[in-house]
Structure formats: structure tokens, C-alpha cells
Amino acid sequence: MSSDDTDDRRQARRRAITEAEIRDIVRALRPSEVLGRDAIAEKCRAHTWQEGDFDMALRTAVETGVVEALPDGFYTLAG
């Protein structure tokens, strides 16, 4: 297996993990509609995630338009 194949597999795995984490964030927000960052992390049990993964998933969710960042560290589902 070449290093390119290994890198591609790592990137695909990372994308799959991030997508699953974003689904967790969406599930956390759905019933509450608006939550603060810490409340989302608690509902997602982000303390069990890899270091930095929660922030990356939340940032990606905002950047891709799945989640909307509100003032004062609150978030809601976009749309």
C-alpha cells in the first residue's frame, strides 16, 4: 500500500468521524433548538471524543451551514 493510499484512508476515516460527530451535534440541538457550546458538548458526551474533535465538528457544522452560530456562544440548527 502506498503512502497516498494510507493518507486517503486516514482522510476518509477522519471525514466519516466528523460527519458522525456533526450528526450528534444535530441530535443535541434538535429538541432544544438553541443551546450553548458547553450544553451541546455535554449532550454529545464530547468528553469521550478525541481531544479537539468537538470544536472541529462544531466549527465544520457551522462552516457547512448545518448549524448557525448565534451571539454569546449559542448555536441553533440552520434553516
The contacts of residue 26 (CB under 8 Å, 6+ apart) are: 61, 66, 67, 77
- pLDDT tens, 40-72? 999 999 999 999 999 999 999 999 999 999 999
What does the alpha-carbon distance between residue 11 and residue 14 come to, in Å, rounded to a whole number? 5
The residue range of the domain holding 24 is 3-77
Q: Residues 23-32: what's their mean pLDDT?
A: 94
Q: Give the H/E segment covering residue 6.
A: helix 3-32
Q: Is the pLDDT of residue 38 over 90?
A: yes
CATH code, domain with 25: 1.10.10.10
Beta pairing, strands 34-36 & 74-77? antiparallel
Which residue has 443551546 as its cell numbers?
35
Domain count, the chain: 1
Structure confidence at residue 5 (pLDDT): 79
Structure confidence at residue 1 (pLDDT): 63
Q: Give the H/E segment covering residue 39.
A: helix 37-44
DSSP category for residue 74: E
